[in-house]
Amino acid sequence: MSTTLTELPPDPILERRQEIQKRAAQTIGRRTLLSKIFLTFLVGAFILALVPLGSVLLALLQKGLSSISWAFLHTLPTQPSLVAQNAIGGIGNAIEGSLIIDAIAGLIAIPIAVLLGLYLSESLSRAANFLRAIIEIMTGLPSILLGVFAYEYVVVRLKSFSGLAAIVALAVLMVPVIAKASELAFRGVPATLREAGLALGARSSRVSRGVILPAAMPGVITGVLLSLARAMGETAPLLLVIGASNTWNWNPLHQMAALPLMTYNYSGSQYPSQRAAAWGVALTLVVMVMILSLGSRLVAARMRRERH
Amino acid sequence: MRTTETDPQGTPSEVAERIRLSATSDRPYQFLLRGTALFFGAVIILFVWSVVSTAWPSIHTYSYHILTGRSWVSGTGPYGALPLITDTVLTTLIALLIAVPVGLASALALLYLIPRKFRATGTALIELLAAAPSVVYGLWGLWYLIPWLTKTLQPFLAGLTGSSWPFSGPHEGFSVLLAGLVLSIMILPTIVAISRDVIAVVPADLIEGGLSLGATRSQVLLKVVLPSARTGIFGAIALGAGRALGETIAVAMVIGSNPQIPHSLFSTGATLASTIATEFGNATGSAGSALAALALILMIITASVNAGARVLTKRARASV
């Protein structure tokens, strides 16, 4: 070894190399220590990020469970008064209102959004690219803007607050989310499947319906459930257009009650009993939202399992 | 991503285009798809138009003063949105100041640091944070953060500056600071999720190269990983900012609904979105139009920020 080394030309940057190695060796202790401190800080920040989550969950369970009972879930709210401050009644009509609004908004949004997803995944035209950009930007717009929209076109025209206006706002809110998710799902279907369908002589509508849609179904369902979950928790548009209702109301043309809005209204109530009950309403809402988003996680997990 | 096999007859998208053209015999189907696209395009135009047309009378009355006016008096006017814009930007900055470092640290921790078996759980927990409706954060802020602020945080911060700017004023809880805190928690999942995705695609070669040169793990994270993911990280920050700028209910519940230019972080305030939410119910005529003008300002700001975020995240994805 030493003989071959001496035959090599002298290292031109030997001194610099040795200097660097010496410095690295000298500082390794300090650098490792700093690194450990920094990494601990990173993990600490992550744990810190989970503190609010823990606090919110704990608060929901602690304060929410204590105000929830079977009667609370299926009876109508009552207006407390100074003499009967604890007479707050239940939240049955708000659960009903939230379910009806979310379901109808979903029924309107899903077909439009899935067709839109098909259009975006199949077309390469400039119009499609532009629409895709607009739709992506729409997913980030504040939901209250859609409240203004629904107010102008539904509340003003019908001359009344209504569940329908909330449905319109939420449906427009849901379409971009579902369209984006289903476009991704449709693009994920291997081109060979589509080609095989077309080669068999099927029309492209038949291929979309019989091949692409079934293959992309898990992705579409994930998008649908996520957008339903998101719409269920929306408060801002409802605040502008839905009005208020203290009774069961199955007709969306009238004013309705909804869980997120009830949480908001109760949280600012002058009666401590109602302020405390806001946690019960919030817990009910969170459970309903979680069922939808856990459902979407399950579908996504199943999809991953099937793909591999 | 999925199409690894090279096609001698063109890129996959070109082939797809040819297939699409060859399938034009299916006219009704094409009409249906294009019709849907046109329909939703029309809905978007109506949506923008509804805000612009309602806002128009007040823009006509106040011209640019609606943007620069320093006074917003609900119900009667004058309507100047400067205090609301200031509060919107200020609460967003506070939120970013907290959520960006914590979010980036969490993303790095989730990807590289915490034990492998906890990573999926950690990600799920952060996603859980994103799933909760914003009204719940508002409620939590009212019940838990306000007592903490008045008893602990505000006295502590006031002690730092001797009760002078930016921590002057009474310790009421309801404040621009509280709104910023609540927002920081609400945008954290966005920042963690997006930056985790863009950091995850930093090539392993770069990381291994750094380590083999003798850099410590923190040096690699700070000098290799973060710089190479920076475009995408800026995209993540912009998305988080977009969410904070437009958040309505949680802010309306904790900021104190007082449209003024804040003289300290402990001042009450009102953002563009929170003002629309709290005043819309009582607004008629010119007051309604002024609120629609706020909606228009908010729409322009959030659409620009989101468009910027989209460009950044797209560029980050393309550069990999």
Transcribe A232-258 into DSSP letters: HH--HHHHHH----SS----TTS----
Mutation pick from B47, B108, B112, B301 vs chain A, by most beta carbons of A within 10 Å, is B47
pLDDT of residue B2 exceeding 60, the answer is no
CA nearest neighbour of B257 among B74, B17, B43 = B74
Whether residue B309 is contained in a domain is answered as yes
Residues A149 and A292 in one domain: yes
Residues A22 and A101 in one domain: no
For residue B267, the one-letter residue type is S
**Residue bearing the bigger pLDDT, A65 or B8:** A65
Mean pLDDT, chain A, rounded, equals 91
User: Minimum mean pLDDT among A203-207, B12-16, B296-300: which range?
Assistant: B12-16
Q: Per residue in B72-122, pLDDT tens?
A: 998 887 899 999 999 999 999 999 999 999 999 999 999 999 999 999 898
Angle of helix A126-139 versus helix A92-122 axis, rounded to 10: 150
Residues A48 and A192 in one domain: no
| Predicted local distance difference test score (pLDDT) of residue A46 | 94
Looking up tokens 């029924």, which residue turns up? Answer: A107
Mean pLDDT to the nearest integer, A298-305: 78
Residues A27 and A133 in one domain: no
- Alpha-helix residue ranges (DSSP H) falling in A60-125: 65-67, 70-74, 92-122
| Predicted local distance difference test score (pLDDT) of residue B75 | 82
Whether residue B302 is contained in a domain is answered as yes
Among the partner residues B113, B273, B305, nearest to A42 by beta-carbon distance: B113
If phi > 0 it is left, if psi is from -120 to 50 it is alpha, else beta; for residue A227 that is alpha
Mean pLDDT to the nearest integer, A143-161: 94
Distance between CA atoms of residues A152 and B111, nearest Å: 47
Task: Indicate the number of domains in chain B.
Answer: 1
Distance between CA atoms of residues B11 and A176, nearest Å: 28
B253·A267 Cβ contact <8 A: yes
Structure tokens at A161: 């607050």
pLDDT of residue A170 exceeding 80, the answer is yes
3-state secondary structure of A105: helix
B273's CB contacts (< 8 A; 6+ apart) are A142, A144, A236, B88, B245, B246, B247, B248, B251, B252, B298
Contact in structure between A135 and A179 (CB atoms under 8 Å): yes
3-state secondary structure of A144: helix
Distance between CA atoms of residues B71 and B78, nearest Å: 7
Closest residue on chain A to B124 (Cα)? A297
Whether residue B13 is contained in a domain is answered as no
Residues A24 and A101 in one domain: no
Angle of helix B82-108 versus helix B286-319 axis, rounded to 10: 30
Whether residue B165 is contained in a domain is answered as yes
Structure tokens at B142: 């009212």
For residue B8, the one-letter residue type is P
3-state secondary structure of B79: strand
Q: Per residue in A209-228, pLDDT tens?
A: 999 999 999 899 999 999 99
Distance between CA atoms of residues B94 and B252, nearest Å: 16
CATH code, domain with A186: 1.10.3720.10
Residues A156 and A300 in one domain: yes
Mean pLDDT to the nearest integer, A283-308: 84
Residues A234 and A123 in one domain: yes
From residue B293, alpha-carbon distances to A263, A283, B46, B55, B288 in Å are 28, 35, 16, 4, 9
**How close is the nearest chain B Cα to the Cα of A203, in Å?**
6
| Predicted local distance difference test score (pLDDT) of residue A86 | 81
pLDDT of residue B8 exceeding 60, the answer is no
| Predicted local distance difference test score (pLDDT) of residue A307 | 63
Closest residue on chain B to A125 (Cα)? B17
| Predicted local distance difference test score (pLDDT) of residue A287 | 95
Closest residue on chain B to A209 (Cα)? B29
CA nearest neighbour of B125 among B140, B149, B112, B109 = B109
Q: Which of A59-63, A245-249, B10-14, B314-318 has the highest mean pLDDT?
A: A59-63
Distance between CA atoms of residues A220 and A224, nearest Å: 6
Whether residue B20 is contained in a domain is answered as no
Within a 10 A sphere around the Cβ of B179, how many other Cβ atoms?
Answer: 33
What's CA B151's distance to the chain center, in Å? 29
3-state secondary structure of A101: helix
Looking up tokens 């970013």, which residue turns up? Answer: B96
Q: Per residue in B177-227, pLDDT tens?
A: 999 999 999 999 999 999 999 999 999 999 999 999 889 999 999 999 999
CATH code, domain with B148: 1.10.3720.10
Q: Residues A209-231, buried b or exposed e (16+ Cβ, 10 A)? A: eebbbebbebbbbbbbbbbbbbb
Residues A137 and A272 in one domain: yes
Task: Indicate the number of domains in chain A.
Answer: 2
Boundaries of domain holding A33: 14-54
DSSP secondary structure string for all residues of B129-145: HHHS-HHHHHHHIIIII
Mutation pick from B191, B218, B306 vs chain A, by most beta carbons of A within 10 Å, is B218
Among the partner residues A45, A195, A232, nearest to B19 by beta-carbon distance: A195
Contact in structure between B198 and B235 (CB atoms under 8 Å): yes
| Predicted local distance difference test score (pLDDT) of residue A194 | 87
| Predicted local distance difference test score (pLDDT) of residue A308 | 60
Distance between CA atoms of residues A118 and A132, nearest Å: 12
A49·B188 Cβ contact <8 A: yes
**How close is the nearest chain B Cα to the Cα of A228, in Å?**
11
A288's CB contacts (< 8 A; 6+ apart) are A95, A98, A99, A232, A259
Q: Per residue in B32-83, pLDDT tens?
A: 999 999 999 999 999 999 999 999 999 999 989 989 989 999 888 789 999 9
Whether residue A224 is contained in a domain is answered as yes
Structure tokens at B72: 């917003």
If phi > 0 it is left, if psi is from -120 to 50 it is alpha, else beta; for residue A159 that is left
Name every chain A residue with its beta carbon within 8 A of the beta carbon of B280: 147-148, 151, 239-240
Contacts 24+ apart (CB under 8 A), B122-127: B122/A46, B122/A50, B123/B196, B124/A297, B125/A50, B125/A53, B126/A49, B126/A50, B126/A53, B126/B188, B126/B189, B126/B192, B126/B193, B127/A297, B127/B189, B127/B193
Strand ranges for A154-207 from DSSP E: none
Longest dimension (CA), chain B: 77
| Predicted local distance difference test score (pLDDT) of residue B1 | 42
Structure tokens at A146: 């859609």
Q: Per residue in B245-302, pLDDT tens?
A: 999 999 999 999 999 999 899 999 999 999 999 999 888 888 999 999 999 999 999 9
Q: How confident is the model at residue B15 (pLDDT cuts 50, 70, 90)?
A: low
Mutation pick from B13, B135, B253 vs chain A, by most beta carbons of A within 10 Å, is B135
Strand ranges for chain B from DSSP E: none
Whether residue B40 is contained in a domain is answered as no
| Predicted local distance difference test score (pLDDT) of residue A202 | 87
Whether residue A86 is contained in a domain is answered as no
Whether residue A69 is contained in a domain is answered as no
Strand partners, A151: none
pLDDT of residue B11 exceeding 80, the answer is no
| Predicted local distance difference test score (pLDDT) of residue B9 | 54
A289·B131 Cβ contact <8 A: yes
Whether residue B16 is contained in a domain is answered as no
Structure tokens at B256: 């104190």
Residues A37 and A113 in one domain: no
**How close is the nearest chain A Cα to the Cα of B160, in Å?**
22
A144·B131 Cβ contact <8 A: no
3-state secondary structure of B65: helix
What's CA B201's distance to the chain center, in Å? 23
- For B282, which DSSP code? G
3-state secondary structure of B25: coil
Whether residue B279 is contained in a domain is answered as yes
Residues A47 and A140 in one domain: no
Mean pLDDT to the nearest integer, A30-39: 94
Q: Per residue in A227-284, pLDDT tens?
A: 999 999 999 999 999 999 988 988 999 999 999 999 999 999 999 999 999 999 999 9
> How high is the ipTM of this complex?
0.90
Mean pLDDT, chain B, rounded, equals 90
For residue A56, the one-letter residue type is V
B276·A144 Cβ contact <8 A: yes
| Predicted local distance difference test score (pLDDT) of residue B6 | 45
For residue B48, the one-letter residue type is V
| Predicted local distance difference test score (pLDDT) of residue B235 | 94
A112·B125 Cβ contact <8 A: no
Contact in structure between A278 and B138 (CB atoms under 8 Å): no
| Sign of the four-CA dihedral B59, B63, B64, B66 | negative
Q: Per residue in B147-185, pLDDT tens?
A: 999 999 999 999 998 888 889 888 889 999 999 999 999
Q: Per residue in A92-151, pLDDT tens?
A: 999 999 999 999 999 999 999 999 999 999 888 899 999 999 999 999 999 999 999 999
Contact in structure between B235 and B316 (CB atoms under 8 Å): yes
Residues A27 and A146 in one domain: no
Boundaries of domain holding B312: 63-319
| Predicted local distance difference test score (pLDDT) of residue B25 | 58
Name every chain B residue with its beta carbon within 8 A of the beta carbon of A34: 216, 218
B39·A112 Cβ contact <8 A: yes
A285·B135 Cβ contact <8 A: yes
Structure tokens at A74: 């299926």
